[in-house]
Structure 1
C-alpha cells in the first residue's frame, strides 16, 4: 500500500484525448497534479519551469504514423533537458519492439494499449520513485564531494632525505591500485600524501572521499559508510548512499583507521574483501570499485596488537606502507615550510612582507614541534597577525616552553599550587601531559581528559600545542 499523492506532477502526452484521460484517472491518486497534453510541443516549457516526476509519452503523433520516430525524437529532447527524467512509453501491442528500443535509448519503462490500470499505476509509480532516487543519489554524491574537498593549505614541501624517501614510495605506489596505509604522528600530512597518491593514480578523474573514522560514532557507522534505504530506521526519510559507494570509480581515504572500534572492524573488512556494500535496510548488495588508502597516528606496535586491531584488516590495508617523519626528524625542511606559510598568510591577511632572520630561522628549526607541520602552520599564521615592524621576532611565534631551542625549565615540571594558580597554564600543562602520555594520540588523550576530539583540538590550538 502506498501513500496517496506521494509525488508532485505527472504528464500524459497522447494525441487521443480519451486515452490521455484514462491514464490520468488511473494514476491520479499518486500525484498532486496530472497534466494531459495532446502533443509534446508543450513539454519543453514544463521541463524548464518545473520538471515533472514522470512523463507518459506516446510514440506516434502524426496521422497514420507507426514507426515511433517522432516519439524517439522527443525522448532524446526530454533527456537532453533533464537527464534524470523518468519517461514511460505508451505503445500498442504491435509496437513492443519499438518500445524496447526506446528503453535502450533512455526510456524508463513502457506500457501497452489497452493497459491494465493496476499495471499502469505500478509502472508509473516505479518510474517516479526511480527518478526521485536518481536525483537524491546525485544530490548525495555532490554533498559527499563537497565534504571531501581538500581542506589543507599545506603543500608537500621538503628537501630532506626523509621526504625524498616518502616521495619515492609515492612515485612507485601511486600508479597502481594497491591499498596504502599511511603512518605518522598528528600534523605530519597524512591526508596530503593520500591526495597525492590519488591525483597521480589511474583514478584521478574520479573523486577521493575522506572519512575521519575517529569522528564517526558507532551508532551511525553503517549508515555513514554503507548508506541506507528509506524507512530503514526512524530518521531515514529517503535513500542515502554511503561514503564507500560515493567513492565508486575513485579513492576512499579512511583517516584515523586505528580509532575504529574493534567490534566494527569486521563490517569494514567484509565490505573491502567482497568489494560490495549492502545499505542499511536493503537486501541487495551494491558493487564497489574503489581504491583504499588508510591512515593512522597509532604506533605500529599498537596497530599490530590483536586486542586493538584485527590483523586480517591490517593485512588488507597495508599492501604498501608509507611512514611520514615527524618535523623534528627533518629540521632542514622548517625554513622552507616557514617561508611558504608566512607568504601564504601575508597574502590572506594583506600583511606587509617581513624579514625572517637566519638566527630566528635556526631557533625555529631546532624547536621540536610536537604538533608537526600543522603546529608550524598555526605558528606562522599567528606571527603574521601579531608581528610589527619590518622583521619577525621570537615573541611572534607561540612556541611551547618545553622547546629545547629556548632552554626552558622542563615542560612537565609540576607548578606549585601555592605559587601559581593560573587556570590557563594549568590547563595547558594537563593537556600536554595527556598528549605526551599517549604518544600524541588525539583520541586516547581526549578520552583521558574527558573531552571530545574537537574540544581537544581547540585547546591544542589555544595553547599552541
Structure 2
C-alpha cells in the first residue's frame, strides 16, 4: 500500500484529502506544519507528498527545498489556491512532480497522484538495481490559471534552466515575448542580458548588421565599429521574434551561429565567438514554410529543439477576467482614475468576444475603457462597438454587412469596417502578414501600421 504525506495548514483540507485518498486505497499521514512533517519523515517512509504553497510557518517551496537538501527523493505535488506564474515556474524548476490548483478537480488530482506513485515505484527499483550493481555503494508578469496556461508554466519550469533552443508558437498577441522573458528570468543566465530583435520590423538589408554588427568602413556611414545583437547578448539570451519572417538569404548565416557559436561582423574578417542562448517565436506554420521552400529545414530543426505553444485567448477564456482586472488596475493607477472593476454586463461582453488580437487586444480594450469610464466601474458603453455589436458587423458570404448606429460618424463606421476586414483577412491567412497584405492589396508596412492603429500591433503585452 502506497503511503502519501499531506502537508496543509488547513485541517479541513487534510481531513478531506485523508478521506478521499484512503477510499482509493492509500495510507495517508497528515501534518498541519512543515516542521511536523519533517519529524514524521524521520520515522517513516512515504511514496509521494501533497504540499500546500501558502502556510504561515514555512511556505511550501521552502519546505520542498529542505526535502531536497535532506535527500528525500519522493515525488512532491504542489497545491495552491493562487495561480501565480512565478510559483508554478519555480515549483517545476525545483523538480516538483506536478502543480495542482484548489479547488481540486478530484479526477485530475487522483490521476496525478497515481502517476507520482508509479514513478516513485520505478525510481525505487532503479535505485535498488544501482545499489546492487555498485556492491552497496539531482517581469511583465505572465498571467493565467486556466489549464492551458498551467501547461505553459510547467513547460517553462522544465526547460528554463537549460540551454536548449526554444521555439515559441502562437498567434499574434498571445504573449510569446512574455514567455521568452520568463524563460530567461528563471534560467542560469538570468544575470546576463535579455536582448530582443523583431525580425519582421527590420529591413532585410539592415538585419545582418543588426544581428552581427559591423566594422568601421564596412559601408557608407559606418564611421565606427558597432556590436550586433549577438554580442550584446553575450552570457544571456537572444530573443528572435517573428522568426518566420527571417529572410531566406540570411538563414544560412543564422544557422552557422546556432551550430558553431561564431560569426564575422559585416565588413570584418575576425571570427567572433559568442555564448548566447537562442529563443525564437513565430505565429506562422514553419513546417508548412519548410515544405514550400521559404524556410530552411535544417534551421527549423535547430530552432525547434523545444517547442512551447502559447494558447490563443479563445482557448483560455477562464483567464479573461483575471487578465482584464489586471490591465484595468494598471491603467487606472497610471492614469490616476478611481476605476475599480467591470460591471457584470461589461464582463459578459468581454467573455463573449473571440479576441482575434488575443491578450494584446484585451489589454488595449481595457486601457481604452479606463480612459472612457466616468465612475468606479467600466460599463458596456465604455467598450468598443466591435465588442458590443460584433455580430452585427461582419463578413457574410463574401459581402460586407453592417448597421448604421445612432451617433456614429462616417469615419467611425469606416474604421469599424476596415478593422473587421483586416482581422478577417488575418484569420484566413493564418496571421501571415505578408500573405494578408498581398490579399488586401496593400504593402506590408501599411498593414503593420494598421495593426498598430487598431490595437493589434507590436506591444509589451504581445509576442
TM-score by length of 2: 0.62
How far, CA to CA, are the matches of 1:211 and 1:400 in structure 2? 32
Partner of 1:211: 197
How far, CA to CA, are the matches of 2:227 and 2:450 in structure 1? 35
1:215 offset after TM fit, Å?
1.4
Question: SS of the counterpart of 2:377?
Answer: coil
How far, CA to CA, are the matches of 1:464 and 1:220 in structure 2? 27
Aligned equivalent of 1:272, options 258, 267, 284: 258
Q: Structure 2 matches for 1:85-234, cutoff 5 A?
A: 154-234=140-220
Q: Structure 2 matches for 1:45-60, cutoff 5 A?
A: none
How far, CA to CA, are the matches of 1:307 and 1:207 in structure 2? 34
Q: Structure 2 matches for 1:348-367, cutoff 5 A?
A: 348-367=334-353
Q: May I ask how many residue pairs the two structures share in their alignment?
A: 310
Q: Is the 8 A contact 1:181 1:317 kept in 2?
A: yes
How far, CA to CA, are the matches of 2:417 and 2:325 in structure 1? 33
Q: Is the 8 A contact 1:187 1:374 kept in 2?
A: yes
In 2 relative to 1, CA 243–451 (structure 1 residues): closer, same or farther, beyond 3 Å?
farther
Partner of 1:248: 234
Partner of 1:437: 428
How far, CA to CA, are the matches of 2:355 and 2:369 in structure 1? 16
Q: Is the 8 A contact 1:186 1:441 kept in 2?
A: no
Q: Structure 2 matches for 1:337-352, cutoff 5 A?
A: 337-352=323-338
How far, CA to CA, are the matches of 1:224 and 1:174 in structure 2? 26
In 2 relative to 1, CA 188–284 (structure 1 residues): closer, same or farther, beyond 3 Å?
same
How far, CA to CA, are the matches of 1:222 and 1:461 in structure 2? 26
In 2 relative to 1, CA 206–272 (structure 1 residues): closer, same or farther, beyond 3 Å?
same
- The reply to whether residue 428 of structure 1 matches residue 419 of structure 2 is yes
Q: Is the 8 A contact 2:395 2:421 kept in 1?
A: no
1:399 offset after TM fit, Å?
5.3
Aligned equivalent of 1:446, options 430, 437, 443: 437
1:238 offset after TM fit, Å?
0.7
1:416 offset after TM fit, Å?
7.2
How far, CA to CA, are the matches of 1:451 and 1:242 in structure 2? 32
Q: Is the 8 A contact 1:331 1:366 kept in 2?
A: no
Deviations 1:108-132 (CA, angstroms, capped at 9, x unpaired) = xxxxxxxxxxxxxxxxxxxxxxxxx
Partner of 2:314: 328
- The reply to whether residue 293 of structure 1 matches residue 279 of structure 2 is yes
Partner of 1:408: 392
TM-score by length of 1: 0.62
Stretches of structure 2 that go unaligned for 5 or more consecutive residues are 1-138, 405-409, 457-463
1:442 offset after TM fit, Å?
3.0
Higher RCO by CA contacts (8 Å cutoff, separation 6 or greater): 2
In 2 relative to 1, CA 452–251 (structure 1 residues): closer, same or farther, beyond 3 Å?
farther
